[in-house]
Chain A
Amino acid sequence: MRRLRAALLRLAATVSARLGGSAPQEFDDELASHLAMHIEDNVRRGMTPEAARRDAILKLGGLEQTKERYRDRRTLPLLEHLMQDLRYAVRTLRKNPGFASTAILTLALGIGANAAMFSFADATAFRPPDVPRPAELVRLFTTTKTVPYDTLSYPDYLDYRARTQSLSGLVAYSTLRMAMSRGRDEVPQLLGGAVVSGNYFSMLGVEPALGRGFRDDEDRVPGANPVVVISHGVWERYFHSDPSVIGAHVTLGGRDFAIIGVAPAAFSGTELYFHPDLYVPLSMTRDVSSGISPRFFDDRSQRSLTTVGRLKTGASVRAATTEVAALARSFEQTYPDTNRGRAAIVLPELTARARLDSGGVQGATFLLGIVGLVLLIACVNVANLTLSRAAGRSREIAVRLALGASRGRLIRQLLTESLLLGLAGGALGLLFAYWGVAYLSTIKIPTDLPVAFDARLDQRVLLFTLATSMATGMLFGLAPAFRSTRVDLIRALKASEKTLAGRRRRPLAARDVLVGAQLAASVVLLVTAGVAIRSFVKAQRADPGFRTDHVLLVSFDPTLIHYAESQTKRFYQQIVEKTKTLPGVASVGLAQYIPLGLSSGSQFLVVDGYQMPEGQDRLSISANTVDSGYWPVMRAPIARGRAFDERDTDSSPKVIIVNETMARQYWPNQDALGKIVRLRDRNGPAAQVIGIARDGKYVTLLEPQQPFVFLPLSQRYRAALTLVVLAKSDPAALAGPLRAAVQALDVNVPMFDVRTLNDMYQARAMLPPRLTSQLVTSLGLLGAVLAVIGLYGVVAYVTAGRTHEIGIRMAVGADRRTVLLLVLKQAAGVVIVGLVIGVGLAFVFTPALAEPFDINPRDATVFTLVPIALAGVALLASLVPARRAARIDPMVALREE
């Protein structure tokens, strides 16, 4: 406390000294009185007045020294120096508005781009869930040889939760569509929900904004706790933020649920994209959707639960993994039928995300790398500017050193200037970032579900920007500060500014390094950007393998209102029949997934006669389930054999269609037609290959060609389907009549994601490559412009510094050509070294790109063009000042000294 009081008083004194306080005068008086008394005593002891005075000052330890020590104690000297430095820096920068604004603008572009990109990367990969202590969160997976990160069954989850010692809590949830209506007579709305374990809110540490969360035991008895917590968004949209909503009832899947709580606005679940509207206890899973297996609660092979745990204080991920692995082994023995060969692992939440969505994390890292290079180039530019200015300032620095300023103090002062520039650049950069984020926020994921890409300028971005600005200030300020304070005093004081710039050999060497670094960074940036852009352009031109025009999509899931299987089948049969009769409809089909749509699936199978890799007993192949109407609508060609038709029924022999890649890969040098595969596993039902579909794109436009299978809807019941309708003219015009047709069948069946295939295709398939290439292009351009300006500046400055030398050479007889060659030769050395290093680095780094995207990392065109273009710029940059130097009258150049 006493220390705090003292510190505050000193702070106050520092501030009041700024405002011209009277304390120093008071101490002068006190010292005067001290000396007077001392002198008086001394005289009384017989000294002469002069001797008395000298003795008194001597005993005091010097007048000025005492005053300084006193001042240091009275105020906070460090703060005082900092404020002095800051004021001085502001003054210096204001005296050089050209330098200051160039530097700030350059840094702002670099930092702003980084802040926007960080916000993007945060939204696609890195942002942790908005809960207390997110670093403690881990994910628990079960794992087999074929599925490395699998979900858990309800009984398995309860066992892990009960027996784990290293986790302080383990929650489970599964995301579902839910159909909500506020009264019996309201048509149900489709919302995105999560069925969650009872400890969900308490373990995550989320306090509801209103009402309560779930009790730990509310997830135990199936059907016993019809309660729901609604999201803040739903509370606002559907209940007008009415606090009396607690205790009100809503209908979910035809059953009454009591609203017990409203989740806080900041909480949006634990998934990056899916932000649940409704939270319902796990025990109510079957009540909100009849699509869930009746054996959900006791069958250990019904795995659909995602789990999030919290490490106990002091427990390590490694210890937790060891523990759950042991638990998994004991479950293998107790439940061999379902759990044999099934291990378990624990991963930190962020790591888990990176493993599950490696594309997102790698893509984000790639963009951050690119934008980091842009900032590096900006830093080199500003470092170079600073260095040029330091040469001009060396006289000022020499004078200050000569007058007794310490080198440390000068360095501190120059660094303060750099930091100030960095922070100013950061502040302006935030404005750029704000625009960038505003642009990114226009990205919409095309679905009715609460799935959102959420780029924002939040605390994390601000912190990142601050850190980047400070680091940037240090990065470009440190080297120039050290270099420019190492001055040969005598020479610096004697010489003029111009000769200093040209003559000192060491800064030239520093410049060589800068030029080289800049070139190398530019090559890496431009090559990477070039390679990526070429691939993305290729992807955008790629043929997806199906038509995207004239098709309307409408999705259904009758299990949300508890249709039984027979009811569901009848519903789809009726709606297909009815739609066919609508005017303007050419044909109609059904599919489980839309290619390049929001979701995709896969099928386990075993190919008869195909030798499996060691340790693997079945294949997991991307798959879709479609009816016979799908093919004519999508105009997805069957290369050989036939499509599904009326012959394929529930009771007829099972059939399957494979794509060309699948046929080539698993029946090499044979005809795949007529061959047999077994669905699920070695002992599963046999299906005959009746057709070979032309290859297409299935999940993303950037994917490498992958094997794919189609299964007939008639032989494989699926409740959630999308109706694909081929229109004779405008497909969007069919939405109204179709809605009427559905409501005529059953007004309660929710229909959702009603949009044209073209809209879906543009937003879902085309946007990622287009957006990425836009981002990479603009970053590449920004980097290139900065690099070219910087490169030109450095080379031109170095050459201009040699005017005097060139004058001498010409005076002693060198002709223009010799001079030009001389300048070019010197520049060429550095340029070539920089380019070679850059190409080498690019060669090493670009293959990392091939991981997330299907691209050619060693694109020869790009690797040739970029270095040539940069070499051209460097050449031009040295040529212009060299020509000017060569034109100079030798006498003028010589007289400059």
Chain B
Amino acid sequence: MSPKPDVWQGTLALMVLKTLETIGPLHGYGIARRIEQTSGDLLSVNYGTLYPALLKLEQEGYIASEWGVSDNHRKAKFYKLTRAGRRQVEKAARSWEQATAILARFIAPEESSS
């Protein structure tokens, strides 16, 4: 059931979902800026890669989109979490925590021994 995409694909999707969960419905540009800001400008990506990722999430049914009007009164396409998306955020976040926890155990003792 759960796909196993490569790290970047997976993390980007998780970031998108998490962003939408925190902020609510948002357009592509907003999501890109938000991810950039949250990562403390550590992540410098092409915004362009975001759109195929959004499309994939939509095809999988985790998010839905509709046209609306932005704060600056511009027409924009807004994305929001679906119910399946909410469940997916939890699941993905949990497995992410697990994965980092496991990795941490590998990395921490090495640091202390050296």
Q: A residues touching B (Cβ–Cβ < 8 Å)?
A: 1-3, 5-6, 9-10, 26-27, 29-31, 33-34, 36-38, 40-41, 59-62, 65-66, 69-70, 72-74
9 additional contacts, CB 8 Å, given A6-B60, A69-B48? Answer: A6-B56, A9-B59, A30-B77, A33-B27, A33-B75, A33-B77, A37-B29, A40-B72, A61-B46
Q: Which residues of A contact B101 (CB under 8 A)?
A: none
CA distance A818 to B62 in the complex (A): 80
> Per a CB cutoff under 8 Å, which of B29, B61, B76 touches A5?
B61
Q: Which residues of B contact A38 (CB under 8 A)?
A: 29, 47
Q: Tell me, rounded to whole Å, the shortest Cβ–Cβ distance linking B104 to chain A.
A: 29
Q: Which residues of B contact A74 (CB under 8 A)?
A: 55
Q: Tell me, rounded to whole Å, the shortest Cβ–Cβ distance linking A604 to chain B.
A: 69
CA distance A36 to B70 in the complex (A): 12
CA distance A100 to B72 in the complex (A): 61
Judging by beta carbons under 8 Å apart, are B61 and A66 in contact? Answer: no
Q: Tell me, rounded to whole Å, the shortest Cβ–Cβ distance linking B59 to chain A.
A: 4
Closest B residue to A10 by beta carbon equals: B59
Judging by beta carbons under 8 Å apart, are B52 and A36 in contact? Answer: no
Q: Tell me, rounded to whole Å, the shortest Cβ–Cβ distance linking B43 to chain A.
A: 12
Q: Is B105 in contact with chain A by the CB < 8 A criterion?
A: no
CA distance A27 to B55 in the complex (A): 10
Q: Which residues of B contact A27 (CB under 8 A)?
A: 51
Q: Tell me, rounded to whole Å, the shortest Cβ–Cβ distance linking A54 to chain B.
A: 14
Judging by beta carbons under 8 Å apart, are A73 and B74 in contact? Answer: no
CA distance A60 to B3 in the complex (A): 27
Q: Which residues of A contact B51 (CB under 8 A)?
A: 27, 30-31, 66, 69-70
* CB neighbors of A among B51-85 (8 A): 51-52, 55-56, 59-62, 70, 72, 74-77
Closest A residue to B53 by beta carbon equals: A73
Q: B residues touching A (Cβ–Cβ < 8 Å)?
A: 1, 3, 27-30, 33, 46-49, 51-52, 55-56, 59-62, 70, 72, 74-77
Judging by beta carbons under 8 Å apart, are A33 and B60 in contact? Answer: no
Q: Which residues of B contact A66 (CB under 8 A)?
A: 46, 48, 51
Judging by beta carbons under 8 Å apart, are A60 and B77 in contact? Answer: no
Q: Tell me, rounded to whole Å, the shortest Cβ–Cβ distance linking B70 to chain A.
A: 7
Tell me whether A37 and B77 are in contact in the complex, defined as CB-CB below 8 angstroms, given that A6-B59, A66-B51 are known contacts. no
CA distance A206 to B61 in the complex (A): 46
CA distance A29 to B76 in the complex (A): 8
Q: Which residues of A contact B52 (CB under 8 A)?
A: 69-70, 72-73
Could you say which of B1, B48, B77 has the most chain A C-beta atoms within 10 Å of its C-beta? Answer: B48
Judging by beta carbons under 8 Å apart, are A37 and B74 in contact? Answer: yes
Q: Which residues of A contact B29 (CB under 8 A)?
A: 33-34, 37-38
Q: Which residues of B contact A61 (CB under 8 A)?
A: 46-49
Q: Which residues of A contact B61 (CB under 8 A)?
A: 2, 5
Tell me whether A34 and B47 are in contact in the complex, defined as CB-CB below 8 angstroms, given that A2-B3, A3-B3, A73-B55 are known contacts. yes
CA distance A2 to B55 in the complex (A): 13
CA distance A41 to B27 in the complex (A): 15
Q: Tell me, rounded to whole Å, the shortest Cβ–Cβ distance linking B42 to chain A.
A: 16
Q: Which residues of A contact B77 (CB under 8 A)?
A: 26, 29-30, 33
Judging by beta carbons under 8 Å apart, are B60 and A5 in contact? Answer: yes
CA distance A62 to B51 in the complex (A): 13
CA distance A423 to B77 in the complex (A): 46
> Per a CB cutoff under 8 Å, which of B3, B55, B56, B76 touches A37?
B76
Judging by beta carbons under 8 Å apart, are B76 and A60 in contact? Answer: no
Tell me whether A34 and B28 are in contact in the complex, defined as CB-CB below 8 angstroms, given that A1-B1, A6-B60, A69-B52 are known contacts. yes
Closest B residue to A66 by beta carbon equals: B48
Q: Which residues of B contact A65 (CB under 8 A)?
A: 48
Q: Tell me, rounded to whole Å, the shortest Cβ–Cβ distance linking A447 to chain B.
A: 61
Q: 6 pairs across A/B with beta carbons < 8 Å?
A: A2-B60, A2-B62, A6-B56, A30-B76, A69-B52, A73-B55
Q: Tell me, rounded to whole Å, the shortest Cβ–Cβ distance linking A815 to chain B.
A: 71
Q: Which residues of A contact B27 (CB under 8 A)?
A: 33-34, 37
Q: Which residues of B contact A33 (CB under 8 A)?
A: 27, 29, 70, 74-77
Tell me whether A30 and B28 are in contact in the complex, defined as CB-CB below 8 angstroms, given that A5-B59, A5-B61 are known contacts. yes
Closest A residue to B45 by beta carbon equals: A61
Judging by beta carbons under 8 Å apart, are A73 and B56 in contact? Answer: yes
> Per a CB cutoff under 8 Å, which of B28, B47, B55, B75 touches A59?
B47
Q: Which residues of A contact B56 (CB under 8 A)?
A: 6, 73
Judging by beta carbons under 8 Å apart, are A70 and B55 in contact? Answer: yes
Judging by beta carbons under 8 Å apart, are A60 and B59 in contact? Answer: no
Q: Which residues of B contact A60 (CB under 8 A)?
A: 46-48
Q: Which residues of A contact B33 (CB under 8 A)?
A: 41
Could you say which of A2, A36, A38, A40 has the most chain B C-beta atoms within 10 Å of its C-beta? Answer: A2
Q: Tell me, rounded to whole Å, the shortest Cβ–Cβ distance linking A216 to chain B.
A: 44
CA distance A65 to B47 in the complex (A): 12
CA distance A506 to B94 in the complex (A): 62
Q: Which residues of B contact A10 (CB under 8 A)?
A: 59
CA distance A286 to B61 in the complex (A): 71
Tell me whether A36 and B74 are in contact in the complex, defined as CB-CB below 8 angstroms, given that A61-B49, A69-B48 are known contacts. yes
Q: Tell me, rounded to whole Å, the shortest Cβ–Cβ distance linking B36 to chain A.
A: 9
CA distance A352 to B33 in the complex (A): 73
Tell me whether A62 and B48 are in contact in the complex, defined as CB-CB below 8 angstroms, given that A2-B60, A5-B60, A6-B59 are known contacts. yes
CA distance A33 to B69 in the complex (A): 10
CA distance A101 to B82 in the complex (A): 55
CA distance A98 to B55 in the complex (A): 47
Q: Which residues of B contact A72 (CB under 8 A)?
A: 52
CA distance A38 to B1 in the complex (A): 37
CA distance A40 to B74 in the complex (A): 11
The 3 A-B residue pairs whose C-beta atoms are closest, nearest first, are A61-B46, A66-B48, A61-B48
CA distance A747 to B75 in the complex (A): 100
Q: Tell me, rounded to whole Å, the shortest Cβ–Cβ distance linking A650 to chain B.
A: 84
CA distance A22 to B56 in the complex (A): 18
Q: Which residues of B contact A69 (CB under 8 A)?
A: 48-49, 51-52
Q: Which residues of A contact B49 (CB under 8 A)?
A: 61, 69
CA distance A420 to B47 in the complex (A): 42
Q: Which residues of B contact A36 (CB under 8 A)?
A: 74
Q: Which residues of B contact A5 (CB under 8 A)?
A: 59-61
Q: Tell me, rounded to whole Å, the shortest Cβ–Cβ distance linking B17 to chain A.
A: 13
Q: Which residues of A contact B76 (CB under 8 A)?
A: 30, 33-34, 37
Q: Tell me, rounded to whole Å, the shortest Cβ–Cβ distance linking A891 to chain B.
A: 62
Q: Which residues of A contact B60 (CB under 8 A)?
A: 2-3, 5-6
Q: Which residues of A contact B72 (CB under 8 A)?
A: 37, 40
CA distance A38 to B51 in the complex (A): 15
CA distance A27 to B46 in the complex (A): 17
CA distance A60 to B1 in the complex (A): 32
CA distance A70 to B55 in the complex (A): 8
CA distance A770 to B46 in the complex (A): 76
Q: Which residues of B contact A29 (CB under 8 A)?
A: 75, 77
Closest B residue to A63 by beta carbon equals: B48
CA distance A10 to B3 in the complex (A): 17
Closest A residue to B77 by beta carbon equals: A30
CA distance A40 to B73 in the complex (A): 12
Q: Tell me, rounded to whole Å, the shortest Cβ–Cβ distance linking B83 to chain A.
A: 13
Closest B residue to A26 by beta carbon equals: B77
Q: Which residues of B contact A41 (CB under 8 A)?
A: 33
Q: Tell me, rounded to whole Å, the shortest Cβ–Cβ distance linking B87 to chain A.
A: 11
Q: Tell me, rounded to whole Å, the shortest Cβ–Cβ distance linking B41 to chain A.
A: 12
Closest A residue to B71 by beta carbon equals: A37
Q: Which residues of B contact A2 (CB under 8 A)?
A: 1, 3, 60-62
CA distance A9 to B64 in the complex (A): 14
Closest B residue to A2 by beta carbon equals: B60
CA distance A34 to B72 in the complex (A): 12
Q: Tell me, rounded to whole Å, the shortest Cβ–Cβ distance linking A34 to chain B.
A: 5
CA distance A356 to B37 in the complex (A): 80
Q: Tell me, rounded to whole Å, the shortest Cβ–Cβ distance linking A477 to chain B.
A: 34
Q: Tell me, rounded to whole Å, the shortest Cβ–Cβ distance linking B8 to chain A.
A: 14
Could you say which of B1, B28, B46 has the most chain A C-beta atoms within 10 Å of its C-beta? Answer: B46
CA distance A69 to B54 in the complex (A): 12
CA distance A10 to B59 in the complex (A): 8
Q: Tell me, rounded to whole Å, the shortest Cβ–Cβ distance linking B75 to chain A.
A: 6
Q: Tell me, rounded to whole Å, the shortest Cβ–Cβ distance linking A362 to chain B.
A: 53
